[in-house]
Amino acid sequence: MGSGGVASVSDPLEGIQFSNDEVRAIVEEVENHLVYCSAHIHPDRALKRAIGLGVHCIEHGTLIEPDTANMAADKGVSIVPTLAVIAGLAERGEEFGLPRESLDKLAAGRTTISIAHRLSTAARADRVLVLEHGRLVQDGPHAELVITPGPYARMYEAWVAATTSRWPPINAVMDSAEDL
């Protein structure tokens, strides 16, 4: 551990672990055995420190800054991002207060496949595939699927009804739109 952890209550994320001398001794010992020294690190300050002390590989690196990423690249240090963390942020980031712009960066320029159990996640997708009992039953963008009779529209109506009483069911919205 090069820094605190996300899940441990008594271990502050920004906390630095081990003295510089201890990290150097660990690096020396693993190099003597011809293996790599890896460290679990989230915050940028701890990343810079570990890279400077000779750590070969970083697990997580979730709070890395661009200058630290460049430093790691220059020194040949590998950083292994935790994809589960990224997936969690992609699916529940808004709930945790992550700005919309940050969420968009997670998928920018990539083909992203999400297995979504939340309509808010599916609604952001370019294409939604709806499965029932392992079979594809609907396919299309969110905006089309909410107005097409089927399981997606039913899930959407149930979600709207459960999350707020201010919104009318989607059928009422669509009926009103047709009158325009």
Q: Which residue has the tokens 């059928």?
A: 171
Among the listed residues 155, 121, 124, the one whose alpha carbon sits nearest the alpha carbon of residue 138: 155
pLDDT of 10: 63
Edge-first strand listing for the sheet containing 57-63: 38-43, 57-63, 78-80
Query: Could you state, in chain order, the average pLDDT of each consecutive group of 10 residues for the chain (180 residues)?
Result: 63 80 93 90 91 93 89 93 73 74 61 70 83 90 93 89 63 52
* CA separation for the pair 143, 164 (Å, rounded): 19
pLDDT of 120: 75
* CA separation for the pair 173, 180 (Å, rounded): 11
pLDDT of 76: 94
pLDDT of 9: 47
pTM: 0.50
According to DSSP, residue 62 is labeled: E
| Domain ranges within the chain, ordered by starting residue | 20-81, 115-180
pLDDT of 5: 63
